[in-house]
Amino acid sequence: MVSILASLAVAACTAEADPGLSSLPRIGTLTTVVEGDPGLAGLPGRLLVLGTDGQITTMRADGTDPVTLAEPDPATERTQPTWSPDGSQVAWTERTADGQRYLVVEAEDDRTSTSTPAPLMAVYIAWNPGGSRIAMSGNDEEGNLLLATAEPGQSIAVIDQGAPLYFDWAPDGSSLLVRTSDRFEHVLIDGSGRTPVPASGTFRIGVHMEDSVVLATARDVGDALAVADREGEILRELIRYGGPIAYVVRPDNDRLATMTRGSPESQRLAQLDETDLPILEPNRLVTVETTTGDIEEVAQARGVAWFWSPDGRLLLYSTIEFIDSIERLQWHTWDGERSVSYRAFSPTGIFGRDYLAFFDQFARSMSLWAPDGSAFAYAGGSSLDDAGIWVQPVAGGDPVRVSPGEMAMWSPTP
């Protein structure tokens, strides 16, 4: 487990996932009767849970009122169940026993659904801001990584291909900001046009901030994380760094949280006598104001993933810690002044390998947070006996296991 969690930490800030993540032990989940917890009964929103054997269920935060969207079926593979922006629909991909692949979209309230033949099995799904169209990346039968878009129930159009491949919806839903190993560009949703965006630095995903984007530009030593206009013209550089970097922008776009793993380039940066920008030291999680560049330190630690609360008031971040001589993940929340720590755990294989390793991409379209920021959910446990879906109130106390499951995310609306 020591080397595996270390690989997870590295993968969180690299352009491609570390191959060692494929060996992450899959903590199984036990099927238990959930009676609910009175301390969680008043939390807003619903949890969307991917269970063992592909079961997809929504439920209240205390595990009650379950609604099964897809029954467990060992012969059917299901991936990436994702809420629509208003929480009324859920999309996922599935491969049936005969090898056919589909994009399924189901309404939670009346259980109406559409099933459309798909050219890929999704590794990531994101709805456009208006909830009318879906973009997804995934592998076809030959193992090619594709990017496709579709309206629910309509034919699916493949609009790009590359590996690795990350994307972010434009605020108006007209295009996608696509990052591959050698390209960074705006791609129209039907694939009919694309506009390159100059970006010479090392980074994994580009992010929209209203009329601007976040990218990286190469410097004489290392790179600089920067804010640019849509055409790639640099508006301001924020911080210099060496080595792979990951960042997540706060919902109001005024601050981002970032960390780098470091590299020989970061060592060269540290030896500079003078620099025009602050230097981001390896394994130092900081927040940076996007207009002024002001920096606040969150933690010096081996961080794995971080997510802003919906209101941007808190930052949820995980670190690797030794607990009873075993390497585990531990959640913390930071309120701008201090951090609060919660119980350590081991993630399920799906949560760790498929989500945490690519958290900066998933932070654009899913939330571990309750809509009001009062609690967060995660998948894992301390052992096989208690693995499942846990809900942790921010105010403190013990987390509560509310359901079996491999992965969970909170609905975006109450």
pLDDT score at 406: 97
State the burial class of residue 263 (Cβ atoms within 10 Å of its Cβ: 0-12, 13-18, 19+).
middle
Report which residue type is found at 235. L
The residue count of the chain comes to 414
pLDDT tens for each residue of 90-135: 999 999 999 999 999 999 888 899 999 999 999 999 999 999 999 9
Question: Looking at 143-222, which runs of residues are DSSP E strands?
Answer: 145-150, 157-161, 165-169, 175-180, 184-188, 194-196, 207-209, 212-218
pLDDT of residue 165: 97
Residue 7 DSSP label: H
pLDDT reading at 261 higher than 80: yes
Query: Average pLDDT for residues 280-290, to the nearest whole number?
Result: 96
What are the tokens at 110? 């009346």
User: pLDDT higher for 344 or 274?
Assistant: 344
CA distance 110 to 107: 6
pTM of the model: 0.92
Closest CA relative to residue 127, chosen from 105, 108, 111:
105
With a cut of 90, say whether residue 373 has pLDDT above it. Answer: yes
Domain positions in the chain are 1-74+301-414
pLDDT for 211: 93
Per the model's pLDDT, the better-predicted residue between 262 and 178 turns out to be 178
Contact call for residues 345 and 329 (beta carbons, < 8 A): yes
Q: How far apart are the first and last CA of the chain?
A: 37
**Lowest mean pLDDT across 146-155, 202-211, 258-267, 401-410:** 258-267
CB 327 within 8 A of CB 318: no
